[in-house]
Chain A
Amino acid sequence: MKIKEMVPKLDAADRSVGPPTDPDVLIDVRGLRTYFHVMDGTVKAVDGVDFSLKRGQTLGLVGESGCGKSVTALSILQLIDIPPGEIAGGEIWFDGRDLLKMTTDQIRHVRGADIAMIFQEPMTSLNPVFTIGDQISEAIILHQHVNKKEAMSRAIEALAAVGIPDPARRVKQYPHEMSGGIRQRVMIAMAISCNPKLLIADEPTTALDVTIQAQILELIKELQVRTGAALLLITHDLAVVAETVQNVAVMYAGRIVETGPVEDVLLSPKHPYTQGLLNSIPALHKRGRELDVIRGVVPNPFRMPPGCKFEPRCPYAWEHCREAEPDLLVPPGTHDKSRCFLQAPENATRRQVFDRATVATVRGVIG
């Protein structure tokens, strides 16, 4: 079966070319498309993602495994392996420059210095043969051009800033001598050591146990406020999003399906996928009942549905959803944007069913 290529339509506001006019916008991602050319064809891991983030603000990128949230983050820093990867389109405006038009050397000076990243796996993200002091000071020497001694003392400061006791002794230690929580603190220290303007945290707490998760999130929030860096937090955990960020973007099958202020998105979701996610959160008062899940599975990346990507799993879908893909629509009376035909004015009747279910869902989550 030959599937017709669908070019995602961009919102009118995002179609403009050139840097964002608002100087407060730190990073503006427009129509980002990252594809992977593999043996069986092309996987469109990220297919038309738009979002922007103002200086000092926080944005959460949520979605299930494989929806393209990590690839979006890696595309910003261009850490995608090319080949098989390819950044097929879009613009990433950061501080007045398009990151996608930079040379390898230019982007290298952005990495670590202007945009720093915290990875998911603290156990494997540190080089086993170097002391952590060596690893933190490498970034400092690279971007701040100081000598080794000065870099080491700044590394000690960074470790102290992330709450590691006895940092002067810790810098001489190797990664294998530390627990996961301490290693993640080291990764955070490394990330903030050069005072970046944007901090990308890719599931920073997924590999940690619950008590440590809370500490690390608290630390990231605190440092974000103290350093004034913008934060892009990638997670699949809605609870983390609710606690940590101001704005949220929900991703599904390589595109953003809903975005807006965190309280709007979580308390009055405007997309059936977001509603499904909230529905599937287990709660004490749902004891004994079968857990609500989103039926079906994520579409096969080689055989994406021709219309709305969520249509095969959507309880509200009708014929129109199979034929065309919705834009990000702005429902009246909210700051939300939702990629769903239900939000179009002509579908108000259908929307009533959805809205009633939303009320039930939100009541279920709050309890």
Chain B
Amino acid sequence: MDELTRAGRSASQDAVIVESPAALEELLTEHPDYDVQLESLNQWQLAWRRFRKHRMAIIGSVLFVTMLLLGTIGPLILPYDPNSVPDPGAGNYVNAGRPPMLFPSFHLFGETVGLQRDVFTLVINGIRLSLLIGVLATTIATLVGTLVGGVAGYFGGFLDTFLMRVVDAMLSLPLLFLILVFSRFLGAGSWVTVMMIFALFGWMGIARLVRSVILSMREADWVDAARAVGVSDVRIIYRHLMPNALSPIIVSASLSVAGVIISEAFVSFLGYGIDPATPTLGNVLSGAQDALQQGNWWWAFFPGAAIVVIVMGINFMGDGLQDALDPRAKI
């Protein structure tokens, strides 16, 4: 069913929208005088319908949104401060001016030995920063990639060749070493620097994708039809071509968030990424290495689990989006 059914006395104002034939039946028995009319669904309404019926996508979204909420709200209400380096003499919990006994010695995921930091606090803050880096880096990379790919695909010719050779050149650089080198020489491990590095080297895939989509649509009759009524090139790109390219962009961007989070964790784990004192999931894991030998499994397990849950959630969600946004799919 590609349409919503709209029923109501005037059929336009104050209409009741019903989605299933059964609901319509019920409504009509109640109000036999109602008019019935079909209403078109747009691309997004159709996609939402398919997404809702995709079980894994819903599970993935719930996981991802939960992590997102933990990451955004968590740091605001937790009593412990993840950043303060503990005072060796004090030998007590670290807090940032909050009364230390507000949550009396209760540690949800255990307490880190030696440094005496709360693992739950670390994980929550790690989630916050990892997600922030993933989302921001992906947003920037997607914007740049869409712009480059759109221009290359639409205008073609020399511009296309030039931009695509730049993409090829950048893709041939070993990203891992670049990140290691860059984070050594730029900004000394600030998370903004690392995020910018991921953005700087993450747009090429999107550029290629957008270029190929635009290239295949540039020859479409409706593009000629739009040009024939006098629509400008810029407007054709952003108003006519981009909405058609949006589905693959959204899918690719959502999966890229997961990629950035894993890469960041990996780089930070090696100790080359963000300053070890900053709690990202990778840094927390890195700090847990010694603790593992002493049997403090929770220090490594919970940040590791957080990465798995986030990435799994995003991947399920991305799969669902792919199916939901594919106009040919009929679910």
List A residues at the B interface (Cβ < 8 Å). Answer: 77, 79, 83, 108-113, 116-117, 119, 121, 124-131, 138-139, 142-143, 169, 172-174, 177, 187, 190, 194
Contact = CB atoms under 8 A, between A and B. Distances in A.
B187 interface: no
Interface stretch (B98-106, B166-174, B226-234, B291-299): B226-234
Contact of B222 (A126, A172, A173): A126
Contact of A113 (B221, B226, B230, B240): B230
A142 B230 contact: yes
A111 B244 contact: no
B13 interface: no
Contact of B230 (A111, A172, A173): A111
Complex A-B, nearest 4 residue pairs according to Cβ-Cβ distance, in ascending order: A112-B229, A112-B230, A111-B230, A139-B229
Contact of A125 (B39, B40, B221): B221
Contacts of A113: 230
A117 B221 CA distance: 12
Contacts of A126: 222, 225
A190 B229 contact: yes
A129 B221 contact: no
A77 B228 contact: yes
Given A138-B229, A194-B229, 19 more contacts: A79-B227, A111-B230, A116-B228, A116-B229, A119-B228, A124-B221, A126-B225, A127-B222, A127-B240, A127-B244, A129-B43, A138-B226, A139-B231, A142-B230, A142-B231, A169-B37, A172-B40, A174-B40, A177-B2
Interface of A is mostly: loop
B188 to A, nearest CB: 46
15 contacts: A108-B231, A108-B232, A111-B227, A119-B228, A126-B222, A127-B244, A130-B243, A131-B42, A138-B231, A139-B229, A139-B230, A142-B230, A142-B231, A177-B40, A190-B229
Given A83-B157, A129-B243, A119 B230 contact: no
Interface in B216-269: 220-222, 224-232, 240, 243-244
A127 B40 contact: no
B225 A119 contact: yes
A77 B228 CA distance: 7
Contacts of A173: 40
B157 A124 contact: no
A187 B228 CA distance: 11
B11 to A, nearest CB: 9
A124 B222 contact: yes
A127 B226 CA distance: 9
Contacts of A190: 225, 229
Contacts of B240: 127
Contacts of B2: 177
A149 to B, nearest CB: 16
Contacts of B225: 117, 119, 125-126, 187, 190
Contacts of A127: 222, 226, 240, 244
**Which one of A119, A130, A173 has the highest number of Cβ atoms from chain B below 10 Å of its Cβ?**
A130
Contacts of B39: 172
Interface in B36-52: 37, 39-40, 42-43
Contacts of B21: none
Given A127-B226, A131-B40, A174-B40, A119 B221 contact: yes
B140 to A, nearest CB: 26
A138 B37 CA distance: 27
A125 B229 CA distance: 12
Contacts of B40: 131, 172-174, 177
